[in-house]
Structure 1
Amino acid sequence: MYVWARLARMAATKSRRGPYRFGDEGRLSFRCLPTDIDFNMHLNNARYMMLADVGRIDIFMRSGLLDLARKKRWAPMLGGLQTVFVREIRLWRRFEVVSSIETWSGTEVIGKHRFVLDSGETAALIMTSAGVYDREGRRFVPIDELVHLLGADIEPREPSEEEKIFISSHKGLRVLAKSGD
């Protein structure tokens, strides 16, 4: 089951969080519910990905990307992700998903989702690679063009060493997936 109620709540409350600006963090608060857990009584690994989706959609909505994409018939697409779990999120525990756009190059955006416990400790980290596909043009949109269309005047920063490792790993996995092995 997808997290439809949480997605609806996020959409209904987006104006309270204000517009998303590049360099900001999006913060969404959750509680680990019985529908979120596995047999270990903690947040199921697939639920992390679904809640990261909600964090990304929040950024898409508040930045204006979702409206722009609908108008231009573009499709934001996740290219891949890598997750590390460092602490469990037990049943009924409160936590936040802190989402951000970290940097970009060409047609690829690097995003981050931190799952932060109410104690302030990070429970998990997800790094993502994504892009925006122009269906009519049959191409991925250069992110600088997208940022400009959204009215932002910002340059991407150089990727951190960890981000470079993620990008390299992601590219290697894409090559492996396309080779059919």
Structure 2
Amino acid sequence: MNLIFRLLYTLLFSRFRSKVGAMDECLTPYRCWPTDLDVLRHINNGVYFSMQDLARVDYMIRMGAMPKMNANGWYPVVVSERMRFKKSIKPFQKFQISTKLAYWDEKYTYIEHKFIVNGEPVAFGMIRARFLKKSGGLVTTEELINLVGVTSERPPLSDHLKAWIEAEDRHLEAVVPAKK
């Protein structure tokens, strides 16, 4: 986590912001600071991933999941992620990150992020995550969904997410051959 002051701010103040449900969109406000910039004076591409991490922390705190996960000794790990850029975010510009649970299957949860400037999405991210137990082993998505209080059905799998999942699976099979 290279954004330590933003992390501390998130940990201190997210609990005082409006609550969200597990299936709700969570909007987290930010401003682009000079430390976020690359040589072209817009947010560095790697900073987008770190900011998504912070937005997910805000989301988990505001939905009340963080203390429950800590009590169970569970923690999330990102398995894969992708980013798509439409427009740059400039110095001192205000923006929001929209975080939403997009889908889950038997192994993974999929979280969608949108970076929004003046109501317009300017970058899009998606992560594939697993939850692990500090005692060892995996948290099933059923256990996770029950813990965070999802009462609705799983969202439909969008065509673009399905294509990304299939591409990720094919890529993994190509670089890590199955054991015989």
| TM-score for the superposition, normalised by structure 2 | 0.89
Superposed CA deviations along residues 26-45 of structure 1, whole A, max 9, x for unmatched, are 11111111100001000000
Counterpart position of 2:104: 104
What is the CA RMSD across the aligned residues, in angstroms? 1.7
Q: After superposition, where does 1:170-181 map in structure 2 within 5 Å?
A: 170-179=168-177
Superposed CA deviations along residues 90-147 of structure 1, whole A, max 9, x for unmatched, are 11211111111111111211111101112x2211100110111124352x22222222
Counterpart position of 1:7: 7
Per-residue deviation, 1:77: 0.9
Letter of the structure 2 residue corresponding to residue 167 of structure 1: I
Letter of the structure 2 residue corresponding to residue 35 of structure 1: T
- Percent identity, aligned pairs only, is 25
User: Which has the higher mean CA deviation after the structures are superposed, 16-25 or 98-107?
Assistant: 16-25
Pairing partner for 2:154 from 131, 156, 173: 156
Q: After superposition, where does 1:7-46 map in structure 2 within 5 Å?
A: 7-46=7-46
How far, CA to CA, are the matches of 1:176 and 1:17 in structure 2?
A: 44
Per-residue deviation, 1:69: 2.4
Residue correspondences, number: 177
Counterpart position of 2:52: 52
Q: Secondary structure at the match of 2:162?
A: helix
Say whether the 8 Å CA contact 1:30–1:95 is kept in structure 2: yes
Superposed CA deviations along residues 135-165 of structure 1, whole A, max 9, x for unmatched, are 4352x22222222123332221221101101
- The yes-or-no answer on 1:131 pairing with 2:130 is yes
Say whether the 8 Å CA contact 2:79–2:130 is kept in structure 1: yes
Say whether the 8 Å CA contact 1:10–1:54 is kept in structure 2: yes
How far, CA to CA, are the matches of 2:176 and 2:20 in structure 1?
A: 35
Say whether the 8 Å CA contact 2:15–2:61 is kept in structure 1: no
How far, CA to CA, are the matches of 1:137 and 1:10 in structure 2?
A: 28
Letter of the structure 1 residue corresponding to residue 174 of structure 2: L
How far, CA to CA, are the matches of 2:3 and 2:33 in structure 1?
A: 11
Mind listing any 5+ residue stretches in structure 2 that lack a counterpart? none
Mind listing any 5+ residue stretches in structure 1 that lack a counterpart? none
Pairing partner for 1:169 from 134, 143, 167: 167
How far, CA to CA, are the matches of 1:41 and 1:109 in structure 2?
A: 34
Per-residue deviation, 1:177: 3.6
How far, CA to CA, are the matches of 2:21 and 2:44 in structure 1?
A: 31
Say whether the 8 Å CA contact 2:22–2:149 is kept in structure 1: no
- The yes-or-no answer on 1:147 pairing with 2:135 is no
**Structure 1: 4+ residue segments shifted above 6 A:** none
| TM-score for the superposition, normalised by structure 1 | 0.89
Letter of the structure 1 residue corresponding to residue 41 of structure 2: M
